Structure 1
Amino acid sequence: MATYDTLGATYARTRQPDPRIGAQIRTALGDVRDVINVGAGTGSYEPPQTVLAVEPSQVMIAQRPPGSAPAVQAVAERLPLRDGAADAVMALLTVHHWSDLAAGIKELRRVARRRIVILTWDQRIFRERFWLVREYLPEAAAFDDTRAVPTDRLADLLGGARQEPVRVPHDCVDGFGAAYWRRPSAYLDPQVRAGVSLFAQTGEDALAPGLTRLAEDLATGRWHTRHAELLTLDSIDVGYRLLVSDR
């Protein structure tokens, strides 16, 4: 996707795989022999049995570490693969970027012999539970309203899927949207925001007033007073979900 030719430039620095989330993804994949990663980005969370990564952005492909699975530049809606090409297909935090969701899911079903694993989020829960978009950046939440995919719709397109909550640890090392929920000052860092499509695509001008309020509330202690309970938690559920569909 052309968007990631610009906003994906910092991914190798800010989007390292978190081992706890990685363990949940590997459990969801199960004992499959080979995996294709669609919308693979820089290769986060790819298990050892990954045989191919599919990624539309050459900028992202160039950031894949040495020894990664081979990558092909292509889109989910037109996978250059034969029917039943692998035991499992995974697609992590990518379906909201696809131009034709139904076509992309149809392709995943065509290529996967046994299982499909998708990481996404429930926008309703995200809006309600994540303090940053609820209190400071409603503009970003409004942007996500236009692209978030309802998990029930995804499950229907998959022909059925179980949904697993993915809790975000307080020290999450993968800098996606809600990763810094207990480290609020991180959101004031432009490099952190550049690695989160929600913020990068909303635009700095739209985010500036909310970020100014956040900086003030951190400086005065208002944020810590308001969110004292959050500081006692090790992890939270803000709506991230794994969908697991068996063929």
Structure 2
Amino acid sequence: MAVYDTLGTTYARTRRPDPRIAARIHAALGDAEDVINVGAGPGSYEPASPRTLLAVEPSRTMLAQRPPGSAPAVCAVAEHLPLRDDAADAVMALLTVHHWTDLAAGLSELRRVARRRVVVLTWDQRVFRERFWLVRDYLPQAAAYDDTRAVPTERLAALLGGARLETVPVPHDCTDGFGAAYWRRPHAYLDPEVRAGISMLAQTGDNTLAPGLTALADDLTTGRWHTRHTDLLTRDTIDAGYRLLIADL
């Protein structure tokens, strides 16, 4: 069973693509005429069909949430892409590489099927741990879980044969509910549906997170959180460590 057969049930509601992040991803894809989306989930950030030739996703739960009119999709894994060499101008893999069982094999496959460019969205765990108050102050167990699966950007770049890095700021009203999306809306992390759409929280589990969530709830009730994070309340974006890697082949 794929990880997201159990974790992905709320994605259609909580993981809606953010247009500002979409603009960064589409700019990274450049003038690629055709694109393959690996680890595609429900299709967030895919260029509109027919520009996206194919989506590859191992979870049938996620495939079932793809909206009508999406690109064709196949149930398969990154490590064994059912595609010929040089199948498309560009291949994209967004917030997915940390779930792969064989990172080197998966990235090798991306390079094999891309003619010109590979675009990977990931995060720098060092920055995430240091700058994101949720894991730093309340849920260190989730940070510890991410320590076991986060891939250093330097390693990703090396396996891609070299890549340039771009910072992806997180807007304060981000519509895509990934890990740091609610950095200025802390009450959201108390919502079980929101947590179910964030793999680091869903896979760590509510029992483990309970003490930290209780502390967060108390700090929100008393106003301590707002006093502690006054500097965040007027900011439009933060750098929580999310990075685009762009590899030209």
TM-score range, shorter chain: over 0.9
Aligned equivalents of 2:32, 2:130: Cα separation in 1: 36
Per the alignment, residue 122 of structure 2 pairs with: 120
Per the alignment, residue 165 of structure 2 pairs with: 163
- Which aligned pairs between 1:181-192 and structure 2 lie closer than 5 A? 181-192=183-194
Q: Which amino acid aligns with 1:35?
A: V
C-alpha displacement of 1:147: 0.2
Per the alignment, residue 218 of structure 1 pairs with: 220
The alignment-based identity, stated in percent, is 79
SS at match of 1:147: coil
1:78 has 2:80 as partner: yes
SS at match of 1:232: coil
Task: Report Cα offsets for 1:208-229 as digits up to 9, x if no partner.
Answer: 0000000000000000000000
Per the alignment, residue 92 of structure 1 pairs with: 94
Match of 2:148 among 146, 149, 158: 146
Aligned equivalents of 1:214, 1:14: Cα separation in 2: 21
Task: Report Cα offsets for 1:162-211 as digits up to 9, x if no partner.
Answer: 00000000000000000000000000000000000010000110000000
Per the alignment, residue 17 of structure 1 pairs with: 17
Task: Report Cα offsets for 1:53-95 as digits up to 9, x if no partner.
Answer: 0000000000000000000000000000000000000000000
Aligned equivalents of 2:150, 2:207: Cα separation in 1: 22
Per the alignment, residue 38 of structure 1 pairs with: 38
SS at match of 1:88: strand
Provide the aligned C-alpha RMSD in A.
0.5
Aligned equivalents of 2:24, 2:4: Cα separation in 1: 26
Aligned equivalents of 1:6, 1:202: Cα separation in 2: 14
Match of 2:65 among 63, 66, 69: 63
Q: TM-score under structure 1 normalisation?
A: 0.99
Segments of 4+ in structure 1 off by > 6 A?
A: none
Task: Report Cα offsets for 1:142-178 as digits up to 9, x if no partner.
Answer: 0000000000000000000000000000000000000
C-alpha displacement of 1:44: 0.1
Aligned equivalents of 1:35, 1:5: Cα separation in 2: 25
C-alpha displacement of 1:3: 1.5
> Mind listing any 5+ residue stretches in structure 1 that lack a counterpart?
none
Q: TM-score under structure 2 normalisation?
A: 0.99
Task: Report Cα offsets for 1:5-42 as digits up to 9, x if no partner.
Answer: 01100001100000000000000000000000000000
Per the alignment, residue 238 of structure 1 pairs with: 240
Aligned equivalents of 2:179, 2:240: Cα separation in 1: 10
SS at match of 2:40: coil
**How many aligned positions are there?**
247
Aligned equivalents of 1:74, 1:2: Cα separation in 2: 10
Aligned equivalents of 2:13, 2:219: Cα separation in 1: 28
1:106 has 2:108 as partner: yes
Aligned equivalents of 1:68, 1:2: Cα separation in 2: 21
